[in-house]
Amino acid sequence: MSGNLQWGGRFQSAPDPALIAFGSSLEEDLALAAFDVQCSRAHVLALRGGKIIAQNQADELIAALDHIAAEIESGEFAAFARNSGAEDIHGAIDVRVRELTPAGAYLHAGRSRNDQVATTLLLYAADRAEKGKQVAARIIDRLLLYAEAERKEGTLLAGTTHWQPAQPVLLAFYLGAVAEGFMRDMHRFAEAASKAKEFCPLGSGALAGSTLPLDRKVACAALGFRQPTRNALDAIGNRDGALDVAHAFVRAAANASRMSEELIVWCAPAFSYARLGDEASTGSSLMPQKRNPDPFELVRGTAADLSGRYAGAVASIAAIGFSYHRDLQVTKSIIIGIVERGLAALDAFERALSHVTFNRARMNALADANFTVATDVADALIANGVSARDAHASVGAAVMRAEEEGRTLDATDLQRVAEEASLSGLDAPLDAKASVLAKKTFGSTHPDEVERALGTLRREIEAAS
Ligand code: ARG
């Protein structure tokens, strides 16, 4: 097994296979395979650019790497890597290159797995951040389709705080609120993708740079980075770019989790605000009648898991000094886990969301139940010169009386609070529709404001794609 390690010349005994197995990162590294090949191609250019290898060697190396890229693409490379006896993907690809061409023995000149893993992880992270951006855009598009339809319908919703009925809003306003969060996620993904490709660590060697005249600029350009890293010591141990991408996934998953939580409740029969189609529901092995919103629960659970993993990743890096320490293999594994699970959760969220239907009649019916217009009545008093304190107390007392009498606020309540304030009468919204139409502020739930905000989101998403 130790035969295919990338080191060993100065060792007298073979390593304990159990410890090599413990130290293997091969399984999680498989996600990085294609990026490591890109990285190796760029290193060939750096070697050739510095005249460290001959042109025919460069050609042979590139041909071997192209061959391996095809094996990765077809899926057959994974089995080879697992049988290769290598500790990680870098080693496995090195074994395969050396199998394919004698020039393979020259590939690792001036290079360390340390600069290789730093570079490969950034390429991977940038690629996945792009994918995160795309799935965030799909989620926004889905939310906007729903919001635009519900805006036309004028569907009302009892907006809540603490899950208690608070004020009437449009369902489209709620959906727009969720879309705003995903729009921030989309920009966060785009920024993280861009920042990951700012500085190229390749050519930093183990920690100090190289005595070989590697052409770092050509490697950097080939990989699509904007400039080579300025300090090899920093470049080797820095994981900020990949952590930012992981963070973007943690945050987007948290946003998906928040809406999931509400949809889970909305789909409960006691609420009956929404229904999740059979395509996205699961049944019970015991209770024949059950229909459960599992995908949303899994998204919620995954978001919690990812935020815990992120804390672990930061802790793993905070503990170490500069350059490379093997802890960074753990950091890498956590980052890949966050990114892959995050991407899967966002994709599942978008799919499950596409199977939600809203119960408009039920939402409309409950939008003004439980005195959700009380604030508007108090506002009407304030607009007539009453202090906020007096208005609050007077409407609070009106709510208490109406509740005791088992009715909603009505014209008699308006008359009474008006008289208490020495006004001849009071004009205030008494139902949910009148409430949203009475809103006056920029960004409110007034239908015109909702339409404007949705239009802005729509244009932003179109500009980004
Ligand atoms: N498998 C290692 C990792 O994933 C590669 C780097 C090994 N470098 C070293 N100096 N041991 O981090």
Please write the tens of the pLDDT for every residue from 19-34: 999 999 999 999 999 9
6, 236, 326, 335: which to mutate for ligand 1, most atoms within 8 A of CB? 326
CA distance 217 to 232: 14
- Tell which wins on pLDDT, 465 or 333: 333
Q: Which helix (H) or strand (E) holds 164?
A: strand 164-170
Stretch 247-269: mean pLDDT: 98
Query: Are 461 and 144 spatial neighbours (Cβ–Cβ below 8 Å)?
Result: yes
Classify 435 as helix, strand or coil.
helix
CA distance 119 to 14: 30
Write down the residue that tokens 């608070």 correspond to.
166
Stretch 432-446: mean pLDDT: 98
Percent of the chain residues topping a pLDDT of 70 = 99
pTM: 0.96
pLDDT at 461: 95
- Phi and psi based region of residue 205 (left: phi greater than 0; alpha: psi -120 to 50; beta: remaining): left
Query: 150 CA to middle of ligand 1, Å?
Result: 53
Position 180, amino acid: E
Residues 6+ positions from 198 with CB-CB distance below 8 Å: 225, 226, 227, 241
Catalytic residues: 162, 284
CA distance 390 to 401: 17
Of the pLDDT bands very low, low, confident and very high (cuts 50, 70, 90), residue 1 is very low
Of the pLDDT bands very low, low, confident and very high (cuts 50, 70, 90), residue 3 is low
Stretch 211-236: mean pLDDT: 98
Q: Which residues form ligand 1's pocket by a CB distance below 6 Å?
A: 25, 87-88, 113-114, 117, 324, 326, 328-329, 332
Q: What is the length of the chain?
A: 465
pLDDT at 214: 98
Percent of the chain residues topping a pLDDT of 90 = 97
Query: 315 CA to middle of ligand 1, Å?
Result: 18
CA distance 236 to 241: 12
Q: For residue 299, is pLDDT > 90? A: yes
Query: Are 246 and 313 spatial neighbours (Cβ–Cβ below 8 Å)?
Result: yes
Q: For residue 9, is pLDDT > 90? A: no
Q: How many C-beta atoms surround the C-beta of residue 160 within 10 A?
A: 16
* Neighbour-count burial of 442, counting CB atoms closer than 10 A to its CB (0-12 exposed, 13-18 middle, 19+ buried): exposed
Query: 328 CA to middle of ligand 1, Å?
Result: 8
Position 95, amino acid: V
Q: For residue 184, is pLDDT > 70? A: yes
* Domains of the chain listed by start with CATH number: 18-109 (1.10.275.10), 114-365 (1.20.200.10), 367-447 (1.10.40.30)
Using one digit for the tens of pLDDT, what is the confidence trace for 133-169?
999 999 999 999 999 999 999 999 999 999 999 999 9
pLDDT at 138: 98
Nearest Cα residue to atom 3 of ligand 1 = 329
Output the average pLDDT for the chain: 97
Nearest Cα residue to atom 11 of ligand 1 = 326
Q: Helix/strand/coil (H, E, C) string of 277-294?
A: CHHHCECCCCCCCCCECH
Of the pLDDT bands very low, low, confident and very high (cuts 50, 70, 90), residue 350 is very high
pLDDT at 2: 47
Stretch 122-139: mean pLDDT: 98
Classify strands 356-358 and 156-161 as parallel, antiparallel or unpaired.
unpaired
Nearest Cα residue to atom 4 of ligand 1 = 329
Using one digit for the tens of pLDDT, what is the confidence trace for 388-405?
999 999 999 999 999 999
329, 332, 336: which to mutate for ligand 1, most atoms within 8 A of CB? 329
7, 324, 330: which to mutate for ligand 1, most atoms within 8 A of CB? 324
Q: For residue 465, is pLDDT > 90? A: no
3-state helix, strand, coil in the chain (%, to 5): 65, 5, 25
